[in-house]
A and B are shown apart, each in its own frame.
Chain A
């Protein structure tokens, strides 16, 4: 359990760093780039909105996880339950069958590529984001199906 506690501490640190980075980007885009969005088309405005929305969602999600991990670390029974849930062989098998971590890594890379590519051509943005949504949707449906099956 001590090793798992160390893993959780590492995760909390990484998520805190990600939150700080996201806040810096948000502040930079809303305070310094104040003219962003002015005189732009709907698609370009949406691209900036999507980026900011993604960052806000990331901050919110990571904050929830940090609170959850901190709560779990203070209670030995909850820590053991969290460890069991994370290392449960059935869940791991289902996760692997639904694409595993590869789907998440792929989605993050594609999201980044889509936002960057969108500055050159907005069609790239829509296409890549569409791919990400479809990929995540398929993975989620497979996961739900397998959770019912096994």
Chain B
């Protein structure tokens, strides 16, 4: 029973690990941009930017690339992959 609980918790942690932490909010604040402005520039909606910032949704590779490119940074500088690397 204990091992079942262990695997369940591990699976949940792994699932949460898919939701990446980002520095979008900080980068946006530096440039005094609103979420709507960033969304317009990278071709998405304000709600999606909100979800990515609050770690409810993980951006696809294409969107992550667009966001990183817009800020003039590498993807790993904008998105924190440490949770994925630990798996």
A residues at B contact (CB < 8 Å): 80-81, 83-85, 87-91, 149-150
- Taking a contact as CB atoms closer than 8 A, the residue among B44, B51, B59 that contacts A84 in the complex is B44
A interface secondary structure, majority: helix
Smallest CB separation, A13 vs chain B (Å): 26
Least Cβ distance of A112 to chain B in Å?
34
Q: Hey, which chain B residues are within 8 Å of A88, CB to CB?
A: 44-45, 47-48
**6 closest Cβ pairs, A-B complex:** A90-B48, A150-B57, A88-B45, A88-B44, A84-B43, A89-B60
Among A83, A84, A90: residue with most chain B CB under 10 A: A90
What total of A-B pairs shows CB separation below 8 Å? 32
CB distance from A143 to the nearest CB of B (A): 13
Residue total for B at the interface (Cβ-Cβ under 8 A): 14
Once A90-B51, A149-B56, A150-B56 are accepted as A-B contacts, the answer to whether A85 and B45 lie under 8 Å apart by CB is yes
Please tell me if the beta carbons of B40 and A84 are within 8 angstroms of each other in the complex.
Answer: yes
Chain B 35-50 residues near chain A, CB threshold 8 A: 39-40, 43-45, 47-48
- Collect the chain B residues with CB atoms within 8 Å of residue A90's CB: 44-45, 47-48, 51, 57
User: Please, could you name 23 A-B residue pairs with CB atoms under 8 Å apart, sorted by A?
Assistant: A80-B40, A81-B40, A84-B39, A84-B40, A84-B44, A84-B45, A85-B45, A87-B43, A88-B45, A88-B47, A88-B48, A89-B44, A89-B48, A89-B59, A89-B62, A89-B63, A90-B44, A90-B45, A90-B47, A90-B48, A90-B51, A90-B57, A150-B57
